[in-house]
Amino acid sequence: MDTSSKNPTIDPAEENAFFPSPYSLSQYTAPKTDFDGTYSNDQVAPYTKVLVVGTEERYMLMQNGKMFSTGNHPVESLLPIYHMLEAGVEIEVATLTGAPIKFEWWAFPQEDEAIRSAWERLKDQFKQPMPLAKALEEDRKYAGIFIPGGHGAMLNLPESKDLQAALDRALAEDQLLISLCHGPAGFLAAGLDRETNPLAGYTMCVFPDALDASANIEIGYLPGKMPWALGEAIKAAGIKIANETMSGMVHQDRNLLTGDSPLASNELGKLVVKNLLERHPA
C-alpha cells in the first residue's frame, strides 16, 4: 500500500464517509504496541469487576458535511483491558442500547499478542454487550468504569442519562473512573442538566484539541473539522487538563485515572491494576 497519500480513504459503507489517510495511519499505527509486561504477577480479589462502556456509533459528521468512520480505538480499549484480565479482573461490557461496540479496525495491531488475546477473550461481549441500563441494576457491583478512547466516544455518550447514573454511582461508591484520549468525553455526561459537573476541580489527561484542529486534518487522519472540541468542553465543565501534547502521559487525581492518547494505553493499564490491587487485595 502506498503510505504517502494524505487523502482520507473512502469508506464505501456510507455516503461521503472516510477512513484516515494511508499517510496518517503510517504515523499513528503499528503492528505491535509498546506492551512490556504486566504490572505484577499478583491477582485482585475474586469477583472484582470493571464495567467497560463502549460506543456503538460509527460515524462522526464533520463540519464540512463529511463523515469520519470511527468508533473505539482498539489499542486504547484492549491494552488496558488486557492488563486487567491478566490481574484476574472480570470485565463486563456495555453500550448505551446493547448494540455491538464499533472499533476502528484500521488501527488494530495485527502482530500484537496482548491485544489479540484481549480481543479473543471478550469478542462475544463486544459483539453482544449488555445495555448500559442493565449495568445499573442493584445487584451489579463494580470496582470501576472504563470508557475507552477513539473519536466515537464523543458520539452519544456525553448526552447519556444512563451513563450519568453510572458515573453518579461510581462516585458515590468510590469506584475507579478510567479513560484516555477521546474517552473522557463520556465524563461530560456527569454534568447533564446540572449547574456543576461532579468532576469539576479534577484534573485529567485528554487528547489535545490542537492536534485535532490542525495536524490531524492536514495529514488526512480526519476528513474535516470536528463538530466540537473535546478539550474545550472538558474545560468548560470545570475540569482541568494535565497535558498539552500527545506524549503517552498518564495522570491520577483521586480515583480518576486517565491517559492522553494511544501512547498511554500500556501505562494506564498498569496504573489501573496497581490501584485495583491496593483496593481489592486477594
User: Phi then psi for 239, rounded to 5 degrees?
Assistant: -100, 135
Burial class (CB in 10 A: 0-12, 13-18, 19+), 255: middle
Closest CA relative to residue 88, chosen from 147, 39, 34: 39
Report the alpha-carbon distance of residue 227 to residue 59 in Å, rounded.
Answer: 12
Q: Which of 51, 75, 181, 205 is catalytic?
A: 181
Q: Which three cell numbers stand for residue 188?
A: 461530560
Q: Which residues pair with 90 in a beta bridge?
A: 49
Residue 147's SS3 state is strand
Degrees to nearest 5, angle at CA 58 with 75 and 7: 80
Closest CA relative to residue 257, chosen from 84, 131, 32: 84
Closest CA relative to residue 135, chosen from 90, 179, 103, 102: 90
Catalytic status, residue 181: yes
Residues that are catalytic: 181
